[in-house]
């Protein structure tokens, strides 16, 4: 069974996208220059502590159309959606309750990338 182990968000200005996702989802970023053959602007993303389930990823320069939408678990969907709009993004769909899964919404970052956010069901 294949399991996602890394994601990449594509944008025209990776540094500004790193700032956006840091503001909205509290991710931490570190610039990485890559290898000699693979030189480009690339920001490694730490999305949470190692002991927490999840994956880390990166933001890089856009080279092709976006083929994937990543969804991130958040503590408060309302607070996260407020951060999205305050940081220059927008809500594009939802929020919608998915029975037994949580409340989900799709957002767009300031450079046109779609991403999902989901809050676990309240017990």
Determine how many CB atoms are found less than 10 A away from the CB of residue 117: 26
**CATH tag, 6-119:** 3.10.180.10
Q: In the chain, where are the structural domains located?
A: 6-119
pLDDT digits (tens, 9 = 90+) for 42-91: 899 999 999 998 999 999 888 778 777 889 999 999 999 999 999 999 99
CA distance 55 to 5: 6
Q: Which of 54, 69, 55, 56 is nearest to 10 (CA)?
A: 69
pLDDT band at 98 (very low <50, low <70, confident <90, very high): confident
pTM of structure: 0.78
Q: What is the pLDDT of residues 23-47, one digit of tens each?
A: 999 999 999 876 555 567 889 999 9
């Amino acid at each position: 069974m294949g399991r996602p182990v890394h994601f990449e968000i594509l944008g025209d200005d990776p540094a500004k996208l790193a700032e956006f996702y840091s503001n909205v989802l509290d991710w931490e970023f570190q610039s990485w220059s890559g290898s000699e053959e693979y030189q480009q602007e690339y920001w490694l993303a730490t999305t949470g502590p190692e002991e927490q389930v999840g994956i880390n990823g990166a933001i890089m320069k856009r080279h092709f159309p976006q083929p994937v939408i990543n969804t991130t678990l958040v503590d408060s969907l309302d607070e996260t959606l407020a951060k999205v709009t305050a940081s220059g993004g927008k809500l594009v769909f939802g929020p919608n309750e998915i029975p037994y899964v949580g409340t989900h919404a799709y957002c767009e970052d300031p450079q046109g990338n779609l991403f999902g956010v989901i809050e676990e069901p309240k017990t």
